[in-house]
Amino acid sequence: MVRNLTKGKPLKQIIYFALPIFIGNVFQQLYSMVDNIIVGNTLGENAFAGVGATTSIAFLIIGFVQGLTAGFAVKTSQYFGNQDEEKVKRSVATSFVLSAVISVVLTLASVFSTMPLLRLMQTPEEIIGYSYDYIVIVFAGIGATMLYNLVSSILRALGDSKIPLVFLIIASVINVCLDLLFIMVFKMGVAGAGWATVISQLISGLACSIYMFKKYEILRLAKRHFKLTWKFCWSHLNIGLPMAFQYSIIAVGIMVQQAALNTFGTLYVSAYTAASKIDSIVTQALVAMGSSVATYVGQNYGAGEIERINKGINQAMTISVALALVSGVIVYFGSDLLTGLFVKNPSKEMLSLSKNYLFWQGVFYIGLAIIYVYRNGLQGMGYSVLTMAGGVVELLMRIVASIFLVKVLGYLGLCLSNPCAWLGVDVLFLTSYYIIIHRKCKRLPRVSVETIKVKKHSKGIA
């Protein structure tokens, strides 16, 4: 069901909305983990490292898709908060058309640039074949990724975070079954893992689309809603593209990290890959809080509820700090056990490398929590260019850390590159948010105490 986040207690609304997103994100990470676990335990360490070495270039493209569709949904949530049903429908139609065109361009560009990018990142020769065979399939299926992310973002913009979860769970089950079938029965190697991911996302995206249009009248589109105007398209691109480039800019920094990591050799790549997967799972609560904040702020911004936005942001940040502390404890004490899921009989050196990386990430998870809450808050208000600037800061901080800290501290410098990027962005987002929210609160009409008393009396509250 659609959910109006402009009413009720802010924290309750944010948490209630975030829970299905959190569960869905965990499932999404789990079926990505399944690819790695099955590959690592059936095809060997080199195949595992090869798939892991594609993480940064995958994020370059997939992150662009996620940012673009989330940006389009910001406009939808604002129109929904403003109770403008006609513009909600036009927004959905426009988002579908723009996403279809952009997905074609992205597919062609990514497929033909895959091998040059792997070479540019100095991917070790013993694993580059595995890397290419896996990621080129994923890139060929960008249309499926775009479809699922778009329909999920649209539903969340209207306050429905449960239905995307249901179809994501379905996709996860299909992905696991296809992984086992393609890799262990059909002997398709790492390419089988790629095909399993694409097919499961396509099925989930199509099923979710059919359900969405049948279930919600507000999303049933007519021919007139597809009559695009440049002004209306630009209002979506103006938010969607900066958010998309923000993710891609961050991905470039991660690619620099990966290039630095690749120089250490396959053992380090394997340890880093396993640790990164663990890191991704335990931080999904923070990601979910951020996604919930984006929809909450988008709807309330459309309704003009500025003070309610600030209250919700402050409460979400308090919960996120607590989650960050718990996540840090989990990654430190559970690193050996969790790393062992990915590779059979990991060496003591590999376990040590993985634990070292996770320790330094966990120490700075509060900095990551700040990013998710305030970046999504700014996005919900439509300040996507500002959040893209945050992506540039992350890029620069990661490059500096990956080049200079690695030279001085070696692998430890690589472990510190993420925290350095987080802290740099925290300064930008915190400063920007409080300047913006202070200015907007100053513009709000001030109601006198006498007026409040009159209103209470008229309602029988006095």
Q: Is residue 453 part of a domain?
A: no
Q: Which of 63, 55, 65, 50 is nearest to 191 (CA)?
A: 50
Residue type, 290: G
Q: Which residue has the tokens 């992310």?
A: 149
* CB-CB contact of 19 with 319 (8 Å): no
In a domain, 32, yes or no: yes
Q: Is the residue at 460 inside a domain? A: no
User: Looking at this protein, which amino acid is placed at residue 202?
Assistant: L
Output the tens digit of pLDDT for each of the chain's 462 residues.
677 888 999 999 999 999 998 888 887 777 667 777 788 788 887 888 888 788 888 888 998 999 999 999 999 999 999 889 999 999 999 999 999 999 999 999 999 999 999 998 888 899 999 999 999 999 999 999 999 999 999 999 988 888 888 888 888 889 889 989 999 999 999 999 999 989 999 999 999 999 999 989 999 999 999 999 999 999 999 999 988 988 888 888 888 888 888 888 888 888 888 888 888 888 999 999 999 999 999 999 988 899 999 999 999 999 999 999 999 999 888 888 877 776 667 788 888 889 999 999 999 999 999 999 999 999 999 898 898 899 899 889 888 888 888 888 888 988 999 999 999 999 999 999 999 988 887 776 644 334 334 444 444 433
Closest CA to 239 of 426, 97, 432, 388: 388
* Direct distance between the N- and C-terminal alpha carbons of the chain, in angstroms, rounded to an integer: 36
Q: Is residue 233 part of a domain?
A: yes
Read off the amino acid at residue 218.
I
Instruction: Classify residue 452 by burial, with Cβ atoms within 10 Å: 0-12, 13-18, 19+.
Output: exposed
For residue 398, is it within any domain?
Answer: yes
Q: Is residue 452 part of a domain?
A: no
Q: Per the domain annotation, does 458 fall within a domain?
A: no
Give the tokens for residue 206. 């199509």
Inside any domain, residue 4 = no
Q: Give the Cα separation of 303 and 311 in Å (integer).
A: 15
- pTM over the 0.75 mark: yes
Can you give the residue range of the structural domain that contains 76? 10-445
| Residue-wise DSSP of 32-70 | HHHHHHHHHHHT-HHHHHHHHTTHHHHHHHHHHHHHHHH
What is the number of domains present in the chain?
1
